[in-house]
Amino acid sequence: MSLVDVGDRVGWVVGDVPYAAWPPIGGPAPWAALDDHLLYTCHVVADLVQGKLGDRSPVPSMVRLSPGELPVAVGPASRSTWRALGDGSYAHSTTLAVGRPGFVIGSLVGSALGNAVRRRQAAAAAQPRWVADGHGEVTVTDRRACFGHPQSWLDLAWDGLDTADLVAPDVFQCSFRDMYNGSPQIIQLHSLWASLIFVLAAHAAFPAHPRLLGGSWLPPDFETKCQAFGRACPQVR
């Protein structure tokens, strides 16, 4: 854990996850929506490790569930995918110019410059980058996270993930194999439920994950902040 100076307050980096800069000098920062989601996550995790998760009432969800599957959270989310926008190919223009020498040379030079621009654009499009793939609703169950979207839907069963991580307090990142062609996929879900998604996936499929074992899926001193605001937080790390 390290401190980052941001003026009249200090920010914390736990592992490699940057958390909001709190508490400011003189007292804790205001209670925020993310804090509500983190506190709820702590209660879910406490029930999970105590074997009481099944005692929870299911959260209303439109997702089709398997027998015994328990939805624990629903909320807005957006998806990003690590992918290229093109394959490097481009249309090569060939110019046949007839006429005065100056006109012919100008036409050939213009064609060459156009091809060079298209080649550079195609090469840039072939480089992978994070691409926004739409907004939707995520349902988190005890077995998976389901992202609803007409074209970019996701069904992330914990036991189907190759990797899982919390790269920001509201960003869950994972990799898996495409169910149709086996190609590797890397995606991010941006949601206030990112910590819940991560910790459920880690408990189920990545029990030795350093972020789970070290407790850095929560901000430092989160329990202290809860106490300052009169919120009961179970011990989960």
Instruction: Specify the pLDDT at position 99.
Output: 53
Residue 105 pLDDT > 60: no
Residue 103 pLDDT > 60: no
Q: Which domains does the chain show, CATH number per domain?
A: 2-84+128-228 (2.30.29.30), 87-127 (no CATH)
Instruction: Specify the pLDDT at position 110.
Output: 60
Tens-digit pLDDT profile for residues 135-175? 999 999 999 999 998 888 899 999 999 999 999 999 999 99
Tens-digit pLDDT profile for residues 51-72? 999 999 999 999 999 999 999 9
Contacts of 51 (CB under 8 A, 6+ apart): none
Q: How far apart are CA 106 and CA 96, in angstroms?
A: 12
Tens-digit pLDDT profile for residues 2-16? 444 434 333 445 556
Rg (CA), the chain: 24
Q: Say how many Å lie between the first and final Cα of the chain, rounded.
A: 15
Instruction: Specify the pLDDT at position 123.
Output: 62
User: What are 159's two structure tokens?
Assistant: 């036991």
Instruction: Specify the pLDDT at position 150.
Output: 81
Q: How far apart are CA 111 and CA 94, in angstroms?
A: 7
Mean pLDDT score, 108-133 = 69
Mean pLDDT score, 193-202 = 98
Strands (E), the chain: 2-5, 10-14, 17-19, 71-83, 129-141, 144-148, 154-157, 161-168, 171-177, 184-190
Contact predicate 20/6, CB 8 Å:
no
